[in-house]
Structure formats: C-alpha cells, structure tokens
Structure 1
Amino acid sequence: MVRTEKKKKSGIRIFVALLLMVVVAALVYKSIITPENHQIPVNEYDDNSSSYSPPISSDHKTMPDPSLELEPEPSVSISPGELNSPNAILINLKDHTVLMQKNSEEKIYPASLTKMMTAIVVIENLPDLKKEITLTNSVFQGLSEADASMAGFQPGEEVRAIDLLYGALLPSGAESCVGLAYYIAGSEKDFVGMMNQKAADLGMHNTHFENSTGLQHENHYTTVKDLSILLSYALQNDTFREIFTSSRHTTPPTNKHPDGITFKSTMFEELNNQSIADVEILGGKTGFTDEAGLCLASLAQVGDQEYILISVGAKGDHYTEQYNITDALAVYNSIEK
C-alpha cells in the first residue's frame, strides 16, 4: 500500500510539471506573434509599388517633420478662359509644378517653336560651335516658295555654327536650321530623325517632326505640354539659354557680309519694351503659321522664381495685335508675388 501511494504522488508531480511547461510555452509563443509586438523592417518596400512604404507606428499617428515642410506654391489669378490662346501651359521651372494649363495635351502645330528642338539637337551633337559651315544652294531650295522666315544669309556664305544657332532662334531663320541640319546629319530628313529620337528620349510622346523649321505639315505636330518638357530641358544647357535669352546678336564678318549681320529677337521686338513691375521676361521664341496661329515659348522671372509659358493658337498674324505677347504679360502678371 505504501509503495502504491508513493507511485501515485510521483505521477501527480510529473503531470503538474508537464502542465506548467505547456503553459509557459504557450505564453512565450503568444508574446512573439502578437501584432502589436511584430516589428516591420525599416527598409521594407511594398511589393506592389516601387515607392518606399514607411512603417506605421502602433498608434497610427505620425508627427510632421518641420524640416520637410515646403513653402506653398504660388497661384495665378487669371483663369485659362481669359486667354486668347486656346492652348497654354505655365510651369515653375524650379520644381516643374504646373500652375495653369489649358488644353495642354491637345494636338497642335508648333510652327517656329520647332526651332527649339533643332537648336538643342545641334548643340548636343556639334562639339565645336565655332566650326564654319558653308551654306550650299540646296539649303535654300523651297524656302522662299514656302514663305519661310529668313535670317539673311546667302548661298555660298561661310558661317560659324554658333551664328547659325542665333540666326535660328532670334530672327527665326529657316536657312540657318536647314544649313545646320545638312552639316550635322547630311540631310534634313536624317536630322529630323534625330529630332524625333530626342523627343522620344525626353518623353514627348505626342510629338512628331517632319522638318527642322516648323513649316506647316499635317504630320508635324506636338502639344504645349510636350513643348514645355522640351523647353525645361533645353534651358538647362548654358549655350541654349544664352541664345534663348539674347535680344540681339551680331555675327563676325563673313565672305558675303563683311560687316557681319545683326539679328534681333522677334519676341523682344514684339514685346516692344512692355514690362510689368516685379516681372522680367528673360527670353523667348515666337512662331506663326496660318494653321498654328500666334505662338510663344517664353521664360520669365517673377520675384525670385523662374517660369516658362507655352501658348499656341492665338488668332491674328504679324500685322495684328500680338495676342501671344498679350497672353504672356497677363499670365506672368497674375502670378502671386
């Protein structure tokens, strides 16, 4: 009987010990998998997104970091409906914020705003801009018949590339564009292929060029949004910016012009000393065809910020009020100072 009693007590002790071990193990397991104690790795990314997903605190509240707060973006007081131009876009050049847009992704004809692409492709593909280029007779073929604007160079003239660039952007000379295209690529057609490749590289997905000058062609089109991408990019190039913001330029003597040629910017000529307090229009490129209307790509400084405005399609011509200039002055004046 004594042995039986001892065996019973020993069995009970073993059972109790096993039970305690099970309870302790359960408590440890629960403490590991409880959600509020589960830590998210600091550098974890959302599998469904390429952007970083920051960890969320247990109380789902985050305190703002004052050092990350941005100044509010300036606003404009003019409404798109008040513009003469049916297509327009205004962008802060520093952070590329769109402040105003009007039919910005609608297909339009760019006219001579095309020459901005011509210029940047030349600059990026010709290391020596002081290289002299001979303008052959073939450069001028068809330009007068198309009523293209000209810089004033002549067949057989030997001109530096940099002067042709000024001739393309300031007086909007078509012969300057074609001469550069021939020199860079051997033909205007092949040069246009380079223009279209550059447009694709920049993400100008609704743009196609057929020539280097902007002469009207049904398959030569873009959008003001795409043109804003182009101008934002081109202005990062010091040479382009220098030409784009020049009001005049005089070439050195050439074999056809012993006194050189002086160019004046068509935009500054049409601006005609109009100005607004706290607004400085730094540069621009005009354009016009019957199909494209009055066009303008401009750069201005308002306060301590730079802005670009692309406007296309305003009614009128070279002999009417320049509604593209009127729109630019109105828009820049409406930016909150």
Structure 2
Amino acid sequence: MKCINKMRLLCLCGIAAVFMSGCGQTVVSYDNPYDIYSTSADYGLASEGAGSEKTYFSQNLCVADDVNIGNDTTDSQVAEGAGTFNLATNTVTYAQNIYEKLYPASTTKILTAYIALKYGNLEDYVTVSENAANQASDSSVCGLKAGDVVQLKDLLYGMMLKSGNDAAIAIAEHIGGSVEGFADMMNQEALAMGATRSHFVNPNGLPDENHYTSVYDLYLIFQNAVQDQTFLDIISTMSYDVVYTDVNGAGVEKTWENTNQYLTGKEKAPEGITVVGGKTGTTGAAGYCLVLYSYNASGQPIVSIVLKADGKSNLYLLMNEMLSGFAN
C-alpha cells in the first residue's frame, strides 16, 4: 500500500494541531484559522520554504488506511498487532491492527532515548536517586544503587541494551526534572511526530492503563529515532562495558548485554536481511514486543514491529515471517 492517503493525512494534521494547542503553549491567533497551510507550520506539521511550496510533516512518512495487509499468510494469530514499513519507498508492506491501542512495555524506551539524545548532554554525570534505584526486584534493571554517579551516555546503553528500568528513571529525572515532567515531554514529542494514538506516563513502559501506543505510532517514533547515528550505534551494540562510581566514590564495573536475540545470535534473520538493532519489551499486559531496524536485500531500510505476541518464540516467528515475506 502506498503510504500517502490524503484524507488520513488531513485527519492527522488536524488531530495533532488540536491536541498540541492544549499543551500549555502560547495561544496563537490566525487571520485564516481554517487554512491548514498557515496553521500547521506553527505546530511543526508543515514547513514553508523560500517559495510558496508547502511541506507536510508526513510527506516522507507512511500513512496507511486502517486495513490489514498480508496477515492471512503469516501466523498472525500469535500477536495482536504488527507492521512492516519500507522507509525507502514509503510503503506499508505488512499491516495487522496497526492503529489499535496497545501497551508498549519497554519499547517505550525508544522515545526516552530519542528525547535524551535530543535535549541531553551525553557527557553529563547523573546521580541515581532513591526513586530510580527502587525498582521491583523482578523487573528489568541495570543494578544501579542510590548515589551511583553514571554518565548519561552509559545510562542510555544500560536502558537500551539491558532494558534497565532504573536507568530509564534516572534519565527521565535528569532531563525532565521528574518522571512527571519527562512524561510531559514524551507526550509533546509524540504529538509533534503525529503519534496521536499514544499517551505516556513513565519513561520505561511499566504497566499503566494510561500508558499506551499503537504499532503505527511506534513506527513514527522509531523512524525519528533512527535518524540519529548515536541511537543507531547504541541499538546495534551486542554488549557494553561500563565503569561508574558508587555513593562512596568506589569504582563499579558492569557488562550489559543486549536483549535482542538477533544480536545475541539466538535468532537468525531471514536470508537477505541485515538486522541493525531495535528494542524488546515484555510485561504481562503488553505481552512480548519487538521494534526492529534492518536492511533488506536491496539495501533499503525497514522498520518492523510486533506487539503483544503470546510468547518469545512466537514473537520471533512472526517477525521472521514478516521480514522474509514483506520486507520489500
């Protein structure tokens, strides 16, 4: 399916403009309030160059109808939502409930990393708070303790590879001043990307009924993130050695391994597919999730997403079926 659908494009622009007008920003009045060209530029939805040509925020994005594509030829029953997006041709090649509201689990951390890279200084040193260190013992953590001093760059690796919920909270508090302040940033950034079916309340994706997204919104967020080379460097790393100091100034050494089984070698990508990296996520409510960035046999960049799979093996089963049959 070609990705530009005019009616959906207008709807996205209108919805994003309405939502963003309520985000505490300065009220702007317009001579022609119903002229989408004059208003949307103020919300980052369209830009205007030297001439009169208008450029929409979604000009080079996939905007597809709410229909399923290809799921009758895969084991689609193992997951609630999935999609494959060709960034070179701007086409949706596989679609399975891509607009359905779903829980993202730790794929949330893609947006957290995007914001940290956009607004943070990777050389900053962050002191881990009690709040950040106090994570459930059965959740995914980096093992940080209150008073640890860790460089922001290292926290990003811990969050994206080890999927550390403690690292995510430390990043959020450093960038946003608090978890709540950072969540506001997340929602503003998501809306600016056109991700109108999402709402975030924390930086790590732990379950909350008010924390949700969709396959399509995750595509929008992820395709923005992969434009940053540092982000690509992080998600493509198999393991990361880190040294930081504890509350007493003593050195702490750790190695954080990537949870992406394509990178660890536990799963093999289909022939012709080169996996760069991505982000996993798992909770009881969200099921097994994976957002992946790869290249097909023609060297075209592909974003593929599976949400709410019923098991880890089925997560990779469906992902491989999508990559082998629809990454074109």
TM category (shorter chain) comes to 0.7 to 0.9
The equivalences for 1:92-103 within 5 A come to 92-103=86-97
Equivalent residue, structure 2, for 1:118: 112
Matches within 5 A, 1:51-62: none
2:282 matched to which residue of 1? 288
Q: Residue 193 of structure 1 corresponds to which residue in structure 2?
A: 184
* Partners of 1:103 and 1:273 in 2: CA distance: 25
- Indicate yes or no: 2:128 matched with 1:135: yes
Moved more, 321-330 or 115-124: 321-330
Q: Give the unaligned 5+ runs of structure 2.
A: 1-34, 38-68
Deviations 1:253-286 (A, max 9, x none): 4347736211111013665152332122211111
Q: 1:218 to 1:310 in 2, by over 3 A?
A: same
Which residue of 85, 96, 118 maps to 2:79?
85
Greater CA radius of gyration, 1 or 2? 1
- 1:137 CA drift (Å): 1.5
Q: Does 1:107 align with 2:101?
A: yes
Q: Which residue of the partner structure matches residue 253 of structure 2? A: 260
Q: Counterparts of 1:328 and 1:179 in 2: how far apart (Å)?
A: 31
Of 215, 222, 231, the match for 1:224: 215
Q: Which moved more, 1:246-255 or 1:130-139?
A: 246-255
Are residues 105 and 80 of structure 1, via their aligned partners in 2, closer, same or farther at CA, if it must alter by over 3 Å? farther
Supply the AA of the counterpart residue of 2:130.
N
1:242 equivalenced with 2:233 (yes/no): yes
Report the equivalent of 2:300.
Answer: 305
Please state how far the C-alpha of 1:336 moved relative to its aligned partner: 6.8
Render the CA deviation track for 1:8-59: whole Å, top value 9, x for unaligned: xxxxxxxxxxxxxxxxxxxxxxxxxxxxxxxxxxxxxxxx998xxxxxxxxx
Contact 2:84 2:327 in 1 (8 A): no
CA distance in structure 2 between the aligned counterparts of 1:98 and 1:335, rounded to whole angstroms: 9
Pairing partner for 1:279 from 256, 273, 279: 273
**Residue 96 of structure 1, CA deviation:** 2.7
CA shift, 1:328, in A, is 1.4
Answer yes or no: is the 8 Å Cα contact 1:300–1:332 preserved in 2: no
Distance 1:222 1:78, change over 3 A: closer
Alignment: residue pair count? 258
Query: What is the CA-CA distance between 1:179 and the residue it aligns to?
Result: 0.4
Q: Is residue 315 from structure 1 mapped to residue 324 from structure 2 by the alignment?
A: no
Distance 2:164 2:327 in 1: 36
Partner of 1:144: 136
Q: Aligned residues: percent identity?
A: 30
Structure 1 counterpart SS, 2:301: strand
In the other structure, the counterpart of 2:159 is 168
What SS does the aligned partner of 1:227 have?
helix
How far residue 251 of structure 1 moved from its aligned partner, in angstroms, is 1.3
Q: Would the aligned equivalents of 2:93 and 2:327 in 1 still touch at CA under 8 Å?
A: no
TM-score using structure 1 length = 0.71
**TM-score calculated relative to the size of structure 2:** 0.73
RMSD: 2.3
Q: Which sits farther off after the overlay, 148-157 or 171-180?
A: 148-157
SS of match in other structure, 2:83: strand
Contact persistence 2:82–2:304 (CA under 8 A): yes
Equivalent residue, structure 2, for 1:251: 242
Instruction: Return 5+ residue gaps in structure 1 as ranges.
Output: 1-47, 51-75
In 1, distance between residues paired with 2:251 and 2:259?
24
* Cα deviation 1:216-271 (Å, max 9, x = unaligned): 00111111000001001110011111112221111134347736211111013665
Deviation sequence 1:118-160 (CA, Å, 0-9, x none)? 110111111x20111110222223x216x42101222211100
3-state SS of paired residue (1:90): strand
> Match for residue 331 of structure 1?
322
Distance in 1 separating the partners of 2:280 and 2:147: 28
Give the Cα–Cα distance (whole angstroms) in 1 for the partners of residues 284 and 264 of structure 2. 18
Q: 2: CA distance between counterparts of 1:215 and 1:225?
A: 20
Q: Does the residue aligned with 2:251 lie in a helix, a strand or coil? A: coil
The residue identity in structure 2 corresponding to 1:129 is L
* CA 1:174–1:49: 2 relative to 1, 3 Å: closer
Residue 177 in structure 1 maps to residue 161 in structure 2: no
